[in-house]
Amino acid sequence: MAARRSSGSAASSGPGLWIWLGLALVVILLDQFSKTLILGDFNYGESRVVTSFFNVVRVHNTGAAFNFLADSSGWQRWLFVGLGIVASAVIVWMLKKHPLQKLFCFAIAMILGGALGNVIDRLMHGYVVDFIQLHYAGRAFPSFNLADSAITLGAICLVLDELLRVRRS
């Protein structure tokens, strides 16, 4: 990604940072609330059909996206917690540095909230609670959660932000 232009003085960056951190906190709270509902209302592996392409299911992911490293012996939990914490620190630094770049900050705030939502799961349970299952013609996409959705939305917005930035220059 190309270098970003400065967003102004430190005085102008204060309130913007807190807005983005607040957005990340909303993502964390919604993610954890939804997972608490799933843990309370569903047994492991239980699934309920919602539509012809969408189920709510309780699954546990000890790995990363698409169950990457899920079959490892447990060390991956701490690797993913560590990566999530380091990524979060970098994101907070980026938010502080560029608080007025709205699309960019929205994107990384969504990623921050999603990453920390999943880190909380790993610390509390040893796995991430997934519950959204999309399927079509007998094939199911790997289950995911609101944190994963926020990370995906953030990644899409990062690509869009970069495309718009390149187009402007």
Cα dist. 25→35, 49, 99 in Å?
15, 30, 16
Catalytic residues: 130, 148
Partners of 133 in beta bridges: 55
Token pair for 77: 């939990």
Please calculate the CA angle 127-41-77 and round it to the nearest 5 degrees.
5
Token pair for 90: 């970098």
Give dist(CA 81, CA 30) in Å, integer: 20
The stretches of 49-169 forming alpha helices (DSSP H) are: 75-97, 102-125, 146-168
